[in-house]
Amino acid sequence: MRPIDLQTIGDELAIKWPDARESYVKLSILRRRCPCAGCAGEMDVMGNVYKAPAQELGPSAFQLRGLPLVGGYAVQPIWGDGHSTGIYSWEYLKRIADSTTAG
């Protein structure tokens, strides 16, 4: 389900979905759930996940500088600290939004 609109409002990403629902996700949550191999790790053929050591994230790591589209299926946030390798599919973004919505 592709969002109709994405906007940064303060420290949150506001997402408007085609079913008229809206989600608000903290930018810190989006960054901490980055799906790139460097952040989330990589799985080998045996199912073992290999991750780089956790790194301390400073304040700029949670500042969204850009949100370019990737094809018609995802966005690739550009963070204030230069990190930009995470591709968030619409389905993954929806799962994050649903998991952080109280209700």
pLDDT digits (tens, 9 = 90+) for 29-64: 999 999 999 999 998 999 898 888 888 999 999 999
Instruction: State residue 59's pLDDT score.
Output: 96
Task: Specify the pLDDT at position 51.
Answer: 86
Joined tokens for residue 57: 């994230």
**What is the predicted pLDDT for the residue at 63?**
97
Domain boundary assignment for the chain: 5-41+62-100
pLDDT of 22 > 80? The answer is yes
Q: Residue 103: its pLDDT value, please?
A: 41
Ramachandran sector of residue 71 (left: φ over 0; alpha: ψ -120 to 50; beta: rest):
left
- The separation between the first and the last C-alpha atoms of the chain, rounded to the nearest angstrom, is 20
Buried/exposed 10-32: b ≥16 CB within 10 Å, e otherwise: eebbebebeeeeebebebebbbe
Yes or no: is domain 5-41+62-100 CATH 3.30.2020.30?
yes
- pLDDT, residue 45, reads 92
| Sign of the CA dihedral running 56, 86, 31, 41 | negative
